[in-house]
Structure 1
Amino acid sequence: MEKTGQPVEEYLAGVTPKRRREDAERLVPWFARITGRPAEMWGTIVGFGEYHYRYASGHEGDAPAAGFSARKAATTIYVYDGVDAHRENLARLGPHTTGVGCIYLKDLDAVDLDVLEQIIAASCAALGDGPWTARARDGATD
């Protein structure tokens, strides 16, 4: 994954529907505060910070340490250590669905933002220093 250099504001201006754009505009400063990093575009992901990963297969690269994407159907929050690592907090989050490493939110106002902050902060902390070598679906960060 690579940074695109696209201004975040330009990406946000094109987000539809309007509700999703408004949620994304709220999330940018919120993620920046949590991570201590500015927003940068990684494709269609608004990313904050970065980490290097290396898999046993030899594949390696860089990705944002935290991020989200404003999709039409839902806002996607990326948790790079996998959603299973956050099971207890997800039970308290409010309405959402999940994938292996994604939390899908249809209504930002319906979730507990304090709980979401705990999930994002813990996910970033799990990356630690140095290469992250396990995939989220493996359920480990060794």
Structure 2
Amino acid sequence: MIDMLVAVGYSPVAEAEQTVRLAEAARLVGELPYRWLEIGLRRAPAAAAARHLDGAADVLAREGWTQNQMRARDGGVCLAKALMRAAELGHGDHPDRPGMDFRATTYYVAGRYLDVMVLARTGSPKWYLGWNDAPGRTAVEVLELVRDAAEFARVHGPR
């Protein structure tokens, strides 16, 4: 799991590449066909969604990553399960929180930030769940996406 952290560690090149991805995401969210994403982003505070995403990144780094299933035998989790685990660990709202509108949970809003970053990467409005399970996807790409989404929430999210 530590190898995954090292693989997406800090470097000036990685920081510059992230800046480009975040700028592309900000541009796309402002375009009419993708305004539905912006509406989803406003349902919970950006800082809370960023904390939830940071927690999910920590879960992925610690437990490992898998696809096409919620949890692998070796303990790895898919992106959706990483978001759930982050909520269970106190980093945000759980999607099944009683008495709360699901779309107002940090789980839901964190998912919309992930969708924004998938859009910025692919140019196509795909749900992050399908992106996670695409053949050839790697753990490093998934962790990078989560970290990008958290940073996008901090920098570009509604205040």
Query: What TM bracket, shorter-length normalisation?
Result: 0.3 to 0.5
Q: What TM-score, normalized by structure 2, do the two folds share?
A: 0.31
Structure with more of its chain in helix, by fraction: 2
Identify the structure with bigger relative contact order (alpha carbons < 8 Å, sequence gap 6+): 2
When normalised by structure 1's length, the TM-score is 0.34
